[in-house]
């Protein structure tokens, strides 16, 4: 799945048993091997070796590496440097607080890999536009757990509304796809569905997942429904027949085209629609 379209981003600790099997079996749009917070310090060496073994078996996951101010970052970069695309598909850079964190990583890896900048602090949120505009950044992500620890904010949609909305706004201003939201920790499916729908309503287009069973709900919440696609096709068919009436049509047309493009990427069919998605996707 292209980085700009990916909905579900499954974090799997590099120290997890049967890492390669978990990567290969996942239905997530992107699997991220975690070398950072998901792995205890004593297990990081084993996690890095497991990542290499997975690559040698033909898999190309993403990898989350330590923040650019840490010794772990240096070790992670040394592992990837010189064989980046042979080892992983992209980098999720932890705890980004300034564009220099991205620049250092891009320079260290010779600009070979796409980077998702994980913003996890008040300083990172306030620097979000500069981070989003840093060369090499393909997308922003929200580290909601660490952000709450940093700020004392509650795990509540209203308390985190500013941070999420700022990442959405700065992503758009920088010409990036919608950002990736932080994960839902509780196992209650209704909580996961509600949180994913809330993220989608704000303009976020991806979510981190902590468990494989979260993937399907996230993919559903962040994809157009059959009803939405039918509406979009109707809008574009009307446009073809009657043309644009005035500027007030433009937001509706833009949304319809975005829905059609996403539906085609995710192989979603319209409810009771007879028009092929690709006819109106561009």
**Three-class DSSP category at 221:** helix
Alpha helices by DSSP H, 109-242 = 122-126, 128-132, 144-151, 161-173, 189-202, 215-221, 226-242
Instruction: Give the CA angle between residues 25, 203, 123 to the nearest 5°.
Output: 90
Helix (H) or strand (E) holding 138: strand 137-142
Q: How far apart are CA 215 and CA 222, in angstroms?
A: 11
Query: 146 labelled as ligand-binding?
Result: yes
**Three-class DSSP category at 203:** coil
Q: How far apart are CA 40 and CA 153, in angstroms?
A: 26
**Bridge partners, 50 (sequence order):** none
Query: 36 labelled as ligand-binding?
Result: no
Annotated binding site for substrate: 64, 120
Annotated binding site for Mg(2+): 120, 146
Annotated binding site: 64, 120, 146
């Amino acid at each position: 799945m292209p980085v700009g379209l990916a909905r579900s981003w499954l974090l799997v600790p590099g120290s997890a048993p049967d890492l390669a099997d978990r990567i290969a079996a996942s239905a997530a749009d992107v699997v991220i091997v975690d070398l950072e917070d998901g792995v205890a310090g004593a297990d990081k060496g084993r996690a890095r070796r497991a990542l290499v073994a997975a690559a040698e078996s033909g898999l190309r996951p993403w990898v989350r590496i330590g923040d650019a101010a840490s010794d772990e970052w240096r070790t992670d970069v040394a592992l990837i440097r010189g064989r980046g695309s042979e080892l992983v598909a992209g980098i999720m850079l932890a705890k980004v607080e300034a564009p220099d964190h991205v620049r250092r990583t891009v320079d260290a890896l010779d600009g070979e890999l796409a980077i998702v900048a994980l913003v996890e602090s008040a300083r990172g949120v306030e620097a979000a536009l500069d981070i989003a505009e840093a060369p090499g950044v393909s997308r922003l992500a929200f580290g909601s757990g660490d952000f709450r620890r940093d700020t004392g904010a509650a795990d509540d949609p209203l308390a985190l509304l500013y941070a999420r909305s700022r990442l959405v706004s700065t992503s758009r201003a920088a010409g990036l796809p919608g950002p990736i939201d932080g994960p839902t920790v509780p196992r209650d499916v209704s909580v996961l569905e509600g949180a994913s729908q809330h993220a989608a309503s704000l303009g976020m287009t991806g979510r981190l997942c902590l468990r494989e069973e979260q993937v399907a709900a996230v993919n559903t919440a962040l994809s157009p429904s059959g009803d939405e696609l039918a509406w979009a096709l109707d809008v574009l068919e009307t446009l073809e027949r009657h043309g644009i009436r005035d500027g007030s049509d433009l937001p509706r047309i833009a949304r319809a085209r975005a829905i059609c493009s996403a539906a085609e990427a995710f192989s979603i069919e319209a409810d009771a629609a007879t028009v092929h998605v690709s006819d109106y996707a561009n």
